[in-house]
A and B are shown apart, each in its own frame.
Chain A
Amino acid sequence: MTKIRISNGMFIAMIVNMIFVKSIGVTQGTLARIAGQDMWLATLLGTLQGMIIMYITYMALKRAPGMNFLSLGEAVLGKWLGKVVALIVLVFFIASSGPIMITFVYHLRDYFLPEAPLSLFLVSSLLVGALGCFYGLEVVARLALLGMLFIFLLNVLIIIGSTHEFDIRNLLPVLENGFPAVAEASLHYDADCAMAVMMAAIVMPFVNNADKHGGRIGMTGLAATGMVTLIWALLEGAVLSSEVTSQYTVSCMKLARNAHIGDFLQRYEMIMIALYSVPVLFEIMICIYGTSVSMSKLFGLRRDRWMIVPACLVIAGFSYRIVGDHFKAMEYLEKIWPYIALPIAFGLPVVMLWLAVVFRGKLRRAE
């Protein structure tokens, strides 16, 4: 397709960055509300489900080397029906901007800059995101590597600052609310995985040897995300207790505020939020990228860059409506977003795999 090449390490880092930010930020609170102290189990179960769907995505793209879901749709369904796939992907990425912006804005505004206007956060993040997209996917992927390093440091800081208050009794008894509650909660983590799956559906063709190792790399990325997120799920459950975690929109900040190293190094959440900001900006970049790519396909444009500014405007408008009102934001996050994310991210790969199998002749001709 193009000369862009993403290394396998970058792709894993992209998956981790894409899921980690929201999953520790706002998802753990939701999991605690549903599954109580079993939120770590829900995270684990969600990781396994995400790995399966990532593999299905790989299986679909493996049958169409060099293509993403948009071009695969066009190749098997034709120009006009192919636009339906582009429209679905577009809807997904616009809808995903809601939880992404909720994560970004509520972290910064509610805990650090309560007097700053919402527009400041939206405009600044979209400007940075647009700049990243303008320089291309490779630059964004490199940023993910930096984000991965920051996630590692962030986890080290939270472990050092919280482990001394770790109380295993807060995680017991296991499965107190039953497996159905854990399964239900895991769907919210799946909604986070959905963002990585849809990102993979668009960028996997640019990954080195994706047709050979894409599935393994994708699943490794999800497993790595599961591990780094599990640390937070365990700490939030054991240090804060699930009852406290469930009270907060941004539960990871509650843990971060509480972390301290000895008696003398306290309130270092500002350092943690600085580390956190790179992955969150990466997430915004991918959201803009996905929106602009699918818009370009929908409108039949040859260059994705032309759609960066319109994509930012659409995302800004949508996010402004969602993020401005906490009640609306929570309703969207917990009651609407999973119903958009899961059918698309879990259904589309299955449909695309089916199409790729059924129309393999057509695909071969298109190649």
Chain B
Amino acid sequence: MTRTILMWCAALVALMTCTSCVGQRQINELAIVTAVGIENGEKPGTIRLSAQMIRPSDARGQTGAPSGGTGEPIYSALAEGETLFEAIRNLGRFASRRVYWAHNFVIVLQEDYARNGIEDMIDFFTRNHELRMNTRVAVTSDSPAEIVSTITGLEVVPGEAVDNLFRDNKIVSQAPSSDMKNLEEAYLSTSSQPVLARLSLVSRGISNKKPQEHGSLKQVELAGAAAFKEATMVGWLSPEETRSLLFFTERLDNGIVAIGCPNNGNKLSVEFRDAKLKVTPSYRNQQPEFRISLRTKADVVESGCDTDIAKLRADIERSLEDQLKETIEATLHKAQREFHSDILKLADVFRNKFPAEWRKIGNQWSSAFSEAPIEVTVKAKVNSVVLKSVGSVK
């Protein structure tokens, strides 16, 4: 018995000597990437990669106050290569530490690069074992290098700030929550097309040191979307159109709509909630057809109408229905007539209901979708004015 115990102990001690020897990476030897931008390189056929890496000594705490460091919480650098992997390896020429991707928050693609096709990027980032599948992916018409190095909001690390924008995106609901996982899924799917969020630089930040120059600080804005066909970007969706898209792709159930008061020129805010979108496909004359019905409840959350809202109820409901219908139709029009790309996942619904017919027309879905008649109906019911009494005036 004693011999057995001794043998086990010896084996365990021997095992201890093997720990952390193979493939070890010390944290102080890593350059932790938190955001990456990708765009076309200067030479044709090359890719330029901008990586934002954290400087741990300056990024700690809530403010990133320097403690003997440079005061800059991030270090951003550019590299070029014929492929993404080559560009990443080329970063190692001047990054003094080993570039580490496991904590990357966001991948920002430049519009021109996205319009050329992003197959290589999808493949690279899904083939790499270090990356998270919930890394956010977005497209920008600005410089991705600038986006990934712009400090936004309260966060010290820009990549983390953008990640937080995505995290709270449900509240604003004007951009899709696009990440590597759903990008890969849509790209590989035979019945849906990818949509990525749009990031833009807007001068909205106010400097504490120069408050008179309000709006002088650039901030990263998450609003709108880039529509793709296969792996190629085909166009932009406005923030309003994107919200309509989210009814289809992310089951959006609430949002704010500003509508004009019927009695005066002022505005009234309505919060729609518990919205439910139903897509009913049908197949007639060798052609798919869709009936889209949106039903929602709504609350009046702000009113400048200066009258009893009970009297305006029917008008408010009609205005809300018209606005929602208009934006859904605008999104459908763009998808069908401009992009010829089923970004609304209507094919998924059709395929599930009509698998035999899908086999016939699935290969030409792009044209079938573009020509499909789609009928939209919206039904809204205003049933609350929140805290105030219904009959109150002034």
Note whether A and B form a binding pair.
yes
Chain A residues at the B interface, C-beta cutoff of 8 Å: 110-117, 120, 165, 169, 172-173, 176, 240-241, 243-244, 247, 254, 257-258, 260, 263, 266-267
Nearest chain B CB to A241 CB, angstrom units: 5
Kindly supply a per-residue 1/0 record for chain B positions 172-189, scoring 1 wherever the CB is within 8 Å of any chain A CB and 0 otherwise: 000000000100110011
Known: A169-B352, A263-B167. A244 touches B132 (CB 8 A): no
A259 to chain B, nearest CB (A): 9
Q: A247–B129 Cα gap in the complex (Å)?
A: 14
B230 to chain A, nearest CB (A): 13
Report yes or no: A243 in contact with B348, Cβ–Cβ below 8 A: no
Q: Which of A113, A173, A247, A254 contacts B23 (CB 8 A)?
A: A113
Return the CB mask of B16-44 against A: 1 if under 8 Å, else 0: 00000011000000000000000000000
A233 and B132 alpha carbons, distance in the complex (Å): 22
Whether B383 is near chain A, meaning CB under 8 Å from some CB there, is no
Decide yes or no: A173 and B351 within 8 Å by CB, A111-B129, A114-B129, A266-B132 being known contacts.
yes
Chain B positions within 8 Å of A116 at CB level: 22-23
Q: How far is the CB of A179 from chain B (nearest CB, A)?
A: 13
User: Can you list 9 pairs linking A and B with CB atoms under 8 Å apart?
Assistant: A114-B23, A115-B23, A165-B181, A169-B348, A172-B352, A176-B351, A243-B188, A258-B133, A260-B134
Most buried by A among B126, B129, B358: B129
Contact A267 B189, beta carbon cutoff 8 Å = no
- Contacting A243 at CB < 8 Å: which of B22, B23, B189, B351? B189
Q: Which of A111, A113, A244 contacts B185 (CB 8 A)?
A: A244
| Structural contact, B355 and A176, CB atoms closer than 8 A | yes
A117 to chain B, nearest CB (A): 8
Closest to A254 in B: B133
CB atoms of A241 and B22 under 8 A apart:
no
* Least CB separation from A165: chain B residue: B181
Interface residues of B in 176-221 (CB under 8 A from A): 181, 184-185, 188-190
B184 adjacent to A244 (CB under 8 Å)? yes
| New contact pairs (9) apart from A176-B351, A258-B133, CB-CB < 8 Å | A110-B129, A111-B129, A114-B23, A115-B22, A169-B348, A173-B351, A240-B185, A241-B189, A243-B188
Complex CA gap A263/B353 in Å reads: 35
Give complex CA distance A116, B352 in Å: 45
Interface residues of B (CB under 8 A from A): 22-23, 102, 126, 129, 132-134, 167, 181, 184-185, 188-190, 348-349, 351-353, 355, 358
**Closest A residue, CB atoms, query B359:** A176
- A79–chain B nearest beta-carbon distance, Å: 37
Q: Is the CB of A241 within 8 A of B352?
A: no
Partner of B133, one of A172, A176, A257: A257
Determine the residue in chain A with the shortest Cβ distance to B102. Answer: A267
- A173-B352, A244-B185, A258-B181 known; A113+B22 contact, CB < 8 A: yes
Report the minimal beta-carbon distance from B294 to chain A, rounded to whole angstroms: 19
Q: A247 to B133, Cβ gap below 8 A? A: no
B343 CB to nearest chain A CB (Å): 16
* Distance A243 CA – B188 CA, assembled complex (angstroms): 6
Q: Compute how far the CA of A162 lies from the CA of B190 in the bound complex, rounded to whole angstroms.
A: 23
Q: Are B190 and A243 in contact (CB under 8 A)?
A: yes
Chain B, residue nearest A255 (CB): B133
A134 to B190, CA, bound (A): 52
Cα–Cα, bound, A114→B127 (Å):
13
Query: Given the complex, which residues of B lie within 8 Å of A267, measured CB to CB?
Result: 102, 132
How far apart are A158's CB and chain B's nearest CB, in angstroms? 14
Chain B residues positioned under 8 Å from A266 (CB to CB):
132, 134
**Nearest CB of chain B from residue A134's CB, rounded to whole Å:** 11
